[in-house]
Amino acid sequence: MVSNANQATASADNSVATRYGGAKQSRLSPKTRRIIAIIALIGAVAMTFWFAFSSSSSMLAYKTVGYDIHNESEAWVEFEVTKEPEATVGCAVRVRTDTAAVAGYKTVFIGPDEDPNAAGKDLTKYYETDLRTDQLGSSGEVETCWYVEEEEAPNISNLRDY
């Protein structure tokens, strides 16, 4: 039989610190850790400002409000656009079939607001368009909208619908 004294010595030898060594010292000094934390904080603040104030985050929102499929060759779509009053926006409007195929497509260009005092007012306006389709559609939607630069704006009188 083994006595209690031997058991106590055996259990002390099997402790985690004995098996794997004591707690390891950090490889980074406290000063180095502090510098890394400050750099990370400055980087996070800089990224926040970049996302908040970058020019690519211009206010542009769009949403389909309604649609009506008249027949196999005509449809109507209503949508809302929130944009800056002085900007020109292009919106891709489409009609889809039951199988998600595109039955009709039209690009709608929305020019600057004619009211010079529009700044600060409600920037969301409603628009509607008729589309020609080549088969019976089941839904209509505004797919996407984008800002159009003045030199990129097409001659709308020559723009062909689908």
**How confident is the model over 116-127, as pLDDT tens digits?**
665 556 788 999
What would you measure as the largest C-alpha separation in the chain, in angstroms? 105
**Integer angstrom CA distances of residue 123 from 51, 113, 141:** 22, 9, 20
Pair 131, 93: CB distance under 8 Å: yes
83 and 100 belong to one structural domain: yes
Q: What is the DSSP letter of 22?
A: S
74 in the Ramachandran plot: left (φ > 0), alpha (ψ -120 to 50) or beta?
beta
* pLDDT value at residue 150: 59
In a domain, 82, yes or no: yes
Q: What is the pLDDT of residue 99?
A: 94
Residue 53 is encoded by which pair of tokens?
């104030």
pLDDT at 58 exceeding the cut of 80: no
Question: pLDDT confidence of 157, banded at 50, 70, 90?
Answer: very low
Last residue of a domain, one of 9, 34, 57: 57
Kindly state whether residues 152 and 81 are assigned to the same domain. yes
Q: What is the CATH number of the domain that holds 145?
A: 2.60.40
pLDDT at 159: 44
pTM score, whole prediction: 0.57
| Residue 68 pLDDT grade (very low, low, confident, very high; cuts 50, 70, 90) | very high
Distance CA 130, CA 76 (A): 4
For 123, the domain range is 61-156
